[in-house]
Structure 1
Amino acid sequence: MQVEIRQVECFLAVSESLSFRVAAETLGIGQPAVSGQVARLERELGQRLFERTSRVVKLTAAGQRFLPEARSILAAVERARTVVTQQGEAQVPLRLGSSTGLGQRLDLLLETLKRTDPDIAVELGTYATATRFDRVRTGQLNAAFVRGVGTAADLDVVPVWDDPLVIAVPSTHPTAGQDAIDLADLASLPLWLVPRKANAPLVDLVMSACAAAGFEPTLGPHTSKLPETLASIGNGDGWTILYEPHAQQLRHTRVVFRPALPELSMTTSVAVPAGSRSPLLTRLLAACAEVRTHGSNHRA
């Protein structure tokens, strides 16, 4: 039997997303290549690892048994790579899973680490939340940022800061000139949000806040592309909600960003291997604490 690391990586990518297309996008290769690697792995193991239909991909019983072993294989490879890198280079790699919308927080974190820990070389990767968790479990990532999630199997989820949320409305809307916007004043406008499966904590928070304000919003088209959303909002077609650190980096002549009333925020945490308090992660959390303090002073 000759199982290759690339085959295991493809298997894990598919098992995380239950989609060969998404796995291919995550790995940066073509979908036929992913299918081929998984097929070769199945031949080597003599077992089907996935059940495939035109609509559904799911793990077989054999695939479920192989999943923890596959994670262990990649974790061992990453540990070996880290040992070799640390012995052969002056800098220590910090493989960090990023999150869409970290905005200025991420910039500040990288600046802080460069100043306080110049021997750390940060390697960033942006993935879906479930993929980030799995990559921390397997050792492909040292840590990952997540939002609105308090627990995860086999991981410690450490809160590092709270991000205020801001409302984006057309610059022509009556609320655009206010210092803050009452959610109830937006009841007549459609709300543009990502699909719940893409960011359940954010969607649940916003929908609950609207309910508390006395209305159920009419949802606009689902889109994961913020430029398209803001372009439509600028045209007077609705409103959306963003993380403040992200909004601070955006410039849009037809959209304004204002705090919400009542105030809304989302906790950002760092997911790390359960029980792990390595010097590298200790330094990362210390840098996060400095970023949190900077953000608090900036708002004050």
Structure 2
Amino acid sequence: MELRQVQYFIAVSEELHFGRAAERLHIGQPAVSQQVRRLERELGVELFDRSGRAVTLTPSGKALLPEGRALLKALDALTVKAERLAAQDESTFRVGISSALGRRLDDFLDALPASGAGTRFEFQTLDAPTRLAQVRSGRLDAAFVRGVESAPGLHLLTLWHDPLVVALPAAHPLAARGRLDLAELAGLPLRLASREANPVLFDTVTAACRKAGFEPTLGPPFAGLQNTLAEIGAGGAGWTLVYPAAAETVSSRRIALLPLLGEPIAVRMFLAIPENAAPKRLELLEATGAEVRRKVAEEKRKSSHD
């Protein structure tokens, strides 16, 4: 038995005329007659009495009519609920983030255009490889990620560039400067994540040091940002670089945070999304990314005039 057969049965029972039922259903009358006959054979009963000039329901047809209507009503309820769930799923955005986004996450949310006003976000804090893997698998719709330049199967939408801030012991003579020339750090050991752990950051920083005229001397192994800052603050010789959002969370008076003179050392922040993302969603994210970039550029211009 097919649902369309039940739909045809209900239409004929309400119209009591195969031609009018066919017009109501926007199909040919022979198709209606054929499918109702097939339904009768499958049920083993006659649903309509066709012997007279008018079509009438048989006792079996009258008895089965409430069940047929209930079946179609359940189908309508199923369809409405499925559409509602689909709309809810479309407006829910599952995003992987790092713990060092800070106010930039607010900037991103503020930049959503009016068309994204109903979007509901669910955030998960994960390491970068896991974020990318879960976007590929469909468990996440997008992920904020830096430290990559390509990600097979994903589209990387540039959001902003993070200018890195120097962190060094507050007791060091250089800490009294308002800004540092990178070359002034040539004699201090650099505490940085290994190239294996973060190739883009490692290559970006070492290239900037070489451009400044020195080969960086790598200090003790990087022990994570918080541990490394604690060791530097406790008197360990060296310096490291901190993302701006992470710098806002550093409260130790033993650590000095200083921007660099001249061209900053910057790492791009991307939003990784599937290459086959829905066009409407891609359009929304591209518009958001453009607004974030505009806002960050405006902040940069203002700070340069201050």
TM range (shorter): 0.5 to 0.7
- Structure 1 CA distance, aligned partners of 2:134 and 2:89? 25
Partner amino acid for 2:107? Answer: L
Partner of 2:242, secondary structure, is strand
Aligned-CA RMSD value: 2.7
Partners of 2:113 and 2:284 within 8 A in 1: no
Task: Name 2:169's counterpart in structure 1.
Answer: 170
1:217-254 alpha-carbon deviations (Å, 9 max, x no partner): 23233234322211222233211001123313432212
- Structure 2 CA distance, aligned partners of 1:90 and 1:273? 16
Bigger fraction of residues in strand: 1
Partners of 1:160 and 1:285 within 8 A in 2: no
Deviates further, 228-237 or 216-225? 216-225
Identity of aligned residues (%): 40
| TM-score normalised over the length of structure 1 | 0.64
Name segments (4+ residues, structure 1) moved above 6 Å.
none
Task: Name 1:244's counterpart in structure 2.
Answer: 244
Partner of 1:152, secondary structure, is coil
- Structure 2 CA distance, aligned partners of 1:267 and 1:85? 38
Pair 114,275 (structure 1): closer, same or farther in 2 beyond 3 Å: closer
1:102, CA displacement in angstroms? 2.2
Partner of 1:198, secondary structure, is coil
- Structure 2 CA distance, aligned partners of 1:97 and 1:197? 22
1:288, CA displacement in angstroms? 3.1
Partners of 1:97 and 1:127 within 8 A in 2: yes
Partners of 2:95 and 2:121 within 8 A in 1: yes
1:164, CA displacement in angstroms? 1.0
- The answer to whether 1:228 aligns with 2:227 is yes
Task: Name 2:153's counterpart in structure 1.
Answer: 154
Pair 258,277 (structure 1): closer, same or farther in 2 beyond 3 Å: farther
Listed as ranges, the matches of 1:193-232 within 5 Å are 193-232=192-231
The gaps in structure 1 that reach 5 residues or longer are 1-82
Pair 234,117 (structure 1): closer, same or farther in 2 beyond 3 Å: same
Partner amino acid for 1:291? Answer: V
Task: Name 2:264's counterpart in structure 1.
Answer: 263
- The answer to whether 1:142 aligns with 2:141 is yes
User: Considering only CA atoms, is the larger Rg found in Structure 1 or Structure 2?
Assistant: 2
- The answer to whether 1:287 aligns with 2:303 is no
1:167, CA displacement in angstroms? 0.7
- The answer to whether 1:133 aligns with 2:132 is yes
Number of aligned residues: 218
Partner of 1:260, secondary structure, is coil
Task: Name 2:96's counterpart in structure 1.
Answer: 97
Partners of 1:86 and 1:92 within 8 A in 2: no
1:111, CA displacement in angstroms? 4.6
Deviates further, 87-96 or 157-166? 87-96
Partner of 2:164, secondary structure, is strand
1:84, CA displacement in angstroms? 7.9
| TM-score normalised over the length of structure 2 | 0.63
1:277, CA displacement in angstroms? 4.5
- Structure 1 CA distance, aligned partners of 2:84 and 2:182? 51
Partner amino acid for 2:139? Answer: Q
